[in-house]
Amino acid sequence: MTNAASTSDPNCIVEVLEEYPHPSHVIAPNFVTMKLGGKDTYNEWETQIVSLLKSHQMFGFINGEFPSPAGNGKGKDEDIDAWTRSDSLVKSWILGSLSEEASRKVVNHLTDKQKKTYFTAKDLWDELRRSYGPSALTWNPSIIVEVGKAYPYASHVNVPSFVTVKLSGKNKYNLWETQMLCLLKSHQMYGFINGQFPRPAGNGEGKVGDMEAWTISDSLVKGWILGSLSEDAARQAFNHLTHNQKETNFTAKDLWDKLQRSYGRPVREQAGTYFLC
């Protein structure tokens, strides 16, 4: 397996332990603000957790792309240890985003079913989807690309240090927008919401590697934005976007534009407006 991240690029700060990504610096609650407690919160929760996983190259631990090297009986001890460490990180992110009742229920079910206390992040993910999500799931397998090349990838950022306001209504939009723009522009991520970095597959000529690199960075921005919203605002934006597009795969720009329409001033009123960032 190719090393998933390069440490030579200052925009790509991802710890790599052997073959598997291990972004232990990530503060998951900054990305996943929705606690999964029932079917009514599953879709919004899934969108946030998937954005977190994709933006930090950990999605393979729940979609089957990164199976345990111990599974075939030929895995080296050091590879198994590296995989277990990264898988445990994903598992802790997921468990930490559940309500106490949901966490207790899923852990009890998995340990009773497997007759042991150890289960993987994929076991946990699949059980949550069976319990709370849609009845069927189709994952699009992705490949690991070296990020920070075609697109900026500021995964090391502690977003609440920049965005201290939770967007919950029109009265907070201007300050929230200013703080968010400072964050995006200072880390070269502004292009994902202003159209400068469009999805490369949009013209039908995008390379697979470019598409994957773009998706990782766009998911990071989407995670930042979702994590800066109140629970009610996140739910409203999610429901509107998924209802209009008939799918959950909306972009950071889709989300930004929707929030601007819902809480910001009409575009015609923004002429001559100056932002601090």
Integer Cα distance of 275 and 154 in angstroms: 22
Q: What is the mean pLDDT of residues 162-177?
A: 92
List the helix and strand counts (H, then E) for the chain. 10, 2
Residue 73: the pLDDT is: 61
Most confident of 66-75, 93-102, 104-113, 265-274: 93-102
What is the pLDDT confidence band of residue 5, given thresholds at 50, 70 and 90? very low
Q: What is the pLDDT of residues 27-41, one digit of tens each?
A: 888 889 888 999 988
Residue 204: the pLDDT is: 57
Domain range list for the chain: 16-132, 159-270
Residue 57: the pLDDT is: 87
Which DSSP string do the residues of 87-112 spell out, in sequence order? HHHHHHHHHHTB-HHHHHHHHHHHHH
Integer Cα distance of 165 and 177 in angstroms: 9
Q: What is the mean pLDDT of residues 122-138?
A: 79
| Contacts for 30 with CB less than 8 Å, ≥ 6 apart | 158, 159, 160, 224, 227
What is the pLDDT confidence band of residue 120, given thresholds at 50, 70 and 90? very high
Integer Cα distance of 228 and 6 in angstroms: 28
pLDDT at position 71 over 50: yes
Secondary structure of residue 210 in the 3-state scheme: helix
**What's this model's pTM, rounded to 2 decimal places?**
0.59
Integer Cα distance of 179 and 202 in angstroms: 30
